[in-house]
Every structure is written in C-alpha cells, then in structure tokens.
Amino acid sequence: MNNSVPDPAPVLELIEAFRRSKIMFAAVALGVFEQLSAGTASAETLAKELQADADALERLLNACVAMRLLTRDGDQFANAPVATTYLCRESPRQLTGYINFSNKILWQLWGNLEDAVQDGTNRWRQTFGSDGPIFANLFSTEEAKREFSLGMHGFGQISSPAVVAAFDLGRFGRMVDLGGATGHLVIAACGRYPNLRAVVFDLPGVIPLAQEQIAASQLANRIEIVAGDFFVDPLPKGDLYAVGRILHDWSEDKIDHLLRRIYESLPASGALLIAEKLLDDDKKGPMWAHLQSLNMLVVAEGKERTVAEYTALLKKAGFSKIEARRTPGPLDAILAYR
C-alpha cells in the first residue's frame, strides 16, 4: 500500500501565481520602470518621485529584483534588460499597453470567471456595467486606444515573424491582413518576402497608428492601409488573406460569415493564413492556449480550437487543402487554400 503524500508544489505555486502577475502590473502602473529608464535610483528617491510609501515601495522593488525585472547594487535599483525592452513605454517592443489592459480590465473580468463558466458568457456587464461592444470598452479614449494598440504591436513583434515563417508565402503577390491593427503581421511578411505587397484592413480609428508604425518600418512603399469593417465592407483584393488573433474572438456564426466572405473574395489560387494558438488534438495542452481560451470566455464570445475544429470551419466555408504548423512563438499558423 502506497501511503506517500503528493508533492504540494503545484498547488502552492498556483496559490501565489497571481501575486507575481500583480507585482509586475503594479510596478508598471506606478511608473517604476519608466522612472528607472533615466538611471539607477534608491527606493527612497523613487518613493519621492512616484509619491509612494518608501518602505512599501522597497518591498515591491525587491520583489521585482527576485523576479529578475530589476537589479540591485547596494541601495541602487536599475531596470534589467527585459524590463528596458518590454516594460518601458518608449521601447519599440513595449508590452506596457497590454500589461495595463491586463491590470485594469482583464484582472477584474477574470475575478468573475466562476460566473462566466456557469453562464457561458463574457463578464463585461457584471464587471463594468456595460455589454460593450468589447472594442468600444477598450477604446473609450484615444490614449487607451493607443496604449492598447502599441502593447498588441509589441506582442505581434514577438509572434508575427514565426507565423510568416511557418509556410513559404513567397508564391503570393498581395497579402490582405483583416483586422491588421498596427501592421505587425504584414511588416514581418514583407520583411521576409521581398516580392510581397500587403494591405492592412481595419476600423477607421486604428488607421493613424497603423500609418505611424508602418512608416517607421521602412516598408511603407509596399504596404497599403485601408479602413473598413471586415464583417460588412468590401474586402480589398489579394491572393493571400490573413486573420491574426481574430477568429478566437467570435462566435461560430460570425466566423462562418467571415470565412465565407474571405473565400468568395479569393482567386482560385488564393489562400488564407490564420494566426492563433492551437489546442493539442487531445486538448491536454498547451497551457497558453487554455489560458487564452478562458480569456476569450470572460472577455469576448469565442475560444481557442484544435486543428480539427479549425479545419471543420474552413471546409464548411469551402476551403480545401488545409495545413497547420506549430511555431516556437505565442501563435501557431494555419494555411487554407481556396
């Protein structure tokens, strides 16, 4: 008879996991990394600059050191390279917009996960008193729109290069990224495939920031920006359409509608590139996909899917040959041919 007691480590780690997230969220929100981008400082100096309690702030700073976001030499704190790259707003790879969104919005929505599981619906009304639409909640001010979009751009700079490298896209001439936001996917694609031209198609409010990021990429002569709603407006012509982190937002009825529109707009030799995190066939992993699927539950109306589930949706819309590739990045890739 085996009377051994299971190791409690997995449970203990999860009990404290949310605390680690909140340490980073709070340090970003308070401006710790921004302040340290100017140079090293003591906890006492930072407390005066950030109008914080010195003892409480030092505890937060030391926790950031333990998490390798900061370094400490004597009483002087400094940003670690990872913080300089991803946690400072002036960095071209910043994730602060998504971190602040996680802190202000997702943190509260996830607090009602139990109700979301019981009802099977998002938690906007319960949490914030409004049903949305989701993007109206996100983009209530120009600053909120810019911050969130730049955070997603930083995330896209991590994921998009692996997505466009998953398949040989050199055969295509014009890529149309539907809901392309700041253009990180087309920038990565045009950077990899010198003969490719591209279009970013997104809502009018997103266009100025897309123009800014594309101009900075040095690829503006090959990338066009068009305003529109991919559910209702005519889609720009291309032989390769792309949807990155789009399908997981929506219900199957809306996905069916969008996929049929894409299929009907493609030429005979055209294809659709999908960038999403794929669940394993047996749905036992990966953890990132499960976390995203629950995130879609509390924040939107969609979910993450397996290759087989995406294949069924694509075939229903008319697509024939369908290939999937796992990537080492946050998103995987599917290429579906007309």
CB under 8 Å to 97, separation ≥6 — which residues? 146, 147, 148, 149, 150, 151, 152, 154
Given the residues 153, 248, 257, 290, the one annotated as active site: 248
Cβ atoms within 10 Å, residue 295: 19
Is 153 catalytic? The answer is: no
Residue 227: beta bridge partners? 202
Element (DSSP H or E) covering residue 46: helix 43-50
8 A C-beta contact, residue 262 and residue 241: yes
DSSP string, 180-245: -TTSHHHHHHHHH-TT-EEEEEE-GGGHHHHHHHHHHTT-GGGEEEEE--TTTSPPPP-SEEEEES
CA angle centred on 233, ends 105 and 184, rounded to 5°: 50
Show which residues are catalytic.
248
